[in-house]
Amino acid sequence: MQEEEGANVDLDAHKTKCAVIKTSTRATYFLPVVDLTALNAGNNPDSYLVLEKLPAEYDSRVKAMEVDERPSEQYSDIGGCDKQIQELIEAVVLPMTHKDRFVNLGIHP
C-alpha cells in the first residue's frame, strides 16, 4: 500500500486490528480494537476503545427495531423517489439476491 508524501501516517495502525466508531453525538473515530474475540457494541466513553462482545441478549432498543412481519408495501407504493429506490435496490437488495454476480465481478457483498 503506497502512502502519499506528506500525509500523516501511523505506521503502527497497519499492525493492529482497528474499527470505525460512531458515537451518539455523531462523531466518527478510527480506533484500535482491544480484543476481537471479546468485541462489544459499547465502547469506553473516555478513550472510545471497543472493549467487549455484544451479548446474545442485546439492548431492548435494538429489539424494538426488529422486523417481526414482512412489510406489505411495494416500491411502487412510494412516489417521487425513483432514483433513491433504484440506488437502494442496487446497493442493498441486489447484493443479497444475486450474490454470485457481485462475486464474479470481484465485489464481496
Q: Where are the beta strands (DSSP E) in the chain?
A: 18-22, 28-32
**Spatial CA neighbour of 19 closest among 35, 1, 3, 7:** 35
70 located within any domain: no
| Residues 82, 88: Cα–Cα separation, whole Å | 10
Q: Structural domain tally of the chain?
A: 2
Confidence category of residue 35, pLDDT binned at 50, 70, 90: low
pLDDT top residue among 46 and 98: 98
% the chain with pLDDT above 90: 9
What pTM did the predictor assign? 0.38
Sorting pLDDT into bands at 50, 70 and 90, what band is 82? very high
Burial class (CB in 10 A: 0-12, 13-18, 19+), 50: buried
1, part of any domain: no
Q: Which domain holds residue 84?
A: 78-109
pLDDT-derived band at 83, boundaries 50, 70, 90: very high
Q: Is 37 part of any domain?
A: yes
